[in-house]
Structure 1
Amino acid sequence: IMVTEIASSSLFLVFFLVMIASLVLGMGLPTIAAYILLVIVVAPSITKLGAPLVAAHMFIFYFGVISSITPPVALAAYAASGISGANAMRTGFTACRLAITAFIVPYLFVYYPELLLTQGTFGEIAYRLTVSSVGIIFVAMAAMAYGRSLLGAGDRLVMAVAAALLFLASPWLNLAGLLIGAGHMVFLQKSGNAPAAAL
C-alpha cells in the first residue's frame, strides 16, 4: 500500500526506495536471501505499477549484488582493503565511484526493458542497446575524469550532460547527447592539451 501511495507522486521515487532497501538488506544478508525477501515483499507492488516482471526482478537482484561494494558494509571492498592495506572506508567509496555505471544500469532495465531482450523489435533493441552503451561510456569518462587525457571539471560536466540526454526516451535528445559527447571528445583530441588533474 505504501509503495502504491508513493508511486502516485513519483515512480522513480519508488524504485529509489527499492534500491535503498536492496542495498541495505544485501549488506547484512547473502544476495540470494535479500533477493528472495524483496521479491516477495516488493516485486508484486512494483509490477502492478507497470514495471516489467523481468526488469523488476533484475533491478532487485542487481542492487543486492552491488551492496557488496557499497559502504558502510561493503564486504568485497573491505576484503580488498585488507589485501592491499588501504583504508577500508576509502576503498569502499572508491569502489562505488569505479562502479558508478552499475548503479545506473538497473534503472535502464526498468525504463527500457528492450535491454533485457524481453520485448521490442530487433531495431528497438539494437537502438536502445547502442544508445545506452554510449551513455555508459560517457558516464564512466565523467566519473573517472579521463578520456585519453585527464578531464577537468568542465569536461566532466559536459560528458555527464551528454550521458543524461542519451538515457532519456526522446530520439532527438539522444541525438543531442551523442553530438555533444562525441563533439567534445573530438575537441579534446584536437586540442592536444591535457587539462589539469581533476579530483
Structure 2
Amino acid sequence: MSLYTFAKNLVAVILFPVFRIKIIGKENIPKEGPVIICSNHTSNFDPPVVGITSPRDIYFMAKGELFEKRFLGKLLLKIHAFPVKRGMKDRNALRRGLEILEEGYTLGLFPEGTRSKTGELGRPLAGAGFFALRSKATIVPCAIIGPYQPGKRLKVVYGKPMDMEKLRNSKASAQEAADAIMEEIKFLKENHSP
C-alpha cells in the first residue's frame, strides 16, 4: 500500500464521521484519463476532503513555503503535493501540472487561489483556466457545502464534466475559462445548499 493510500484511508476514517460527509455526483468523475477537479476553498480541510471523496488519486499544488522544511517537504511529495510560488507566475508549477495531466492523472485545483474567509465565492485566478485550455483534461466542478463543524453535515458535490471545446475554439483567455469554471461551482453551491 502506498503512503498516499494509507494517508487517504486514515484521514477518511477520521473526517467522514466527524463532518458527516455526504458525497453527491461521484459518478461524474471519469475513471480514466486526465481530470481536473476544481473546487471552492473555505478551509484547510478542503484538500483532504476532496482527496477522500474522489475515487481518483489527486495531485494538489501546495504553497512553496511548506516544502522548505525537509521532512514535511518529502512527506508532501509522497502524498502527491507539489510546490507553487504564490503571488507570481510559477513556470515550474505550471509545467508540473501539465505533466501530471499528460500522464493521465488527476489534478486538484482551487480556482480562487486562497481560502475565502467569508465562505462566499471569490473571483478565480487564471490558473485553472490555463490548465483547462492547455490540456485535454476533463474538467469536473466541485462544491464543498456546509460548515466544518463536528456533527454538522458537510456536502461534497461533483458536477457534470464541463465542455471546454467552445472556449478552446473561440480562443478564450485563461481568465474567461476560469470564470466559466467558477460559474459551474456557483451553480452547484446554489442548487445543493440547504
More helix by share: 1
Structure 1-normalised TM-score? 0.26
Instruction: Tell me: higher relative CO, structure 1 or 2? Use CA pairs within 8 A at least 6 residues apart.
Output: 2
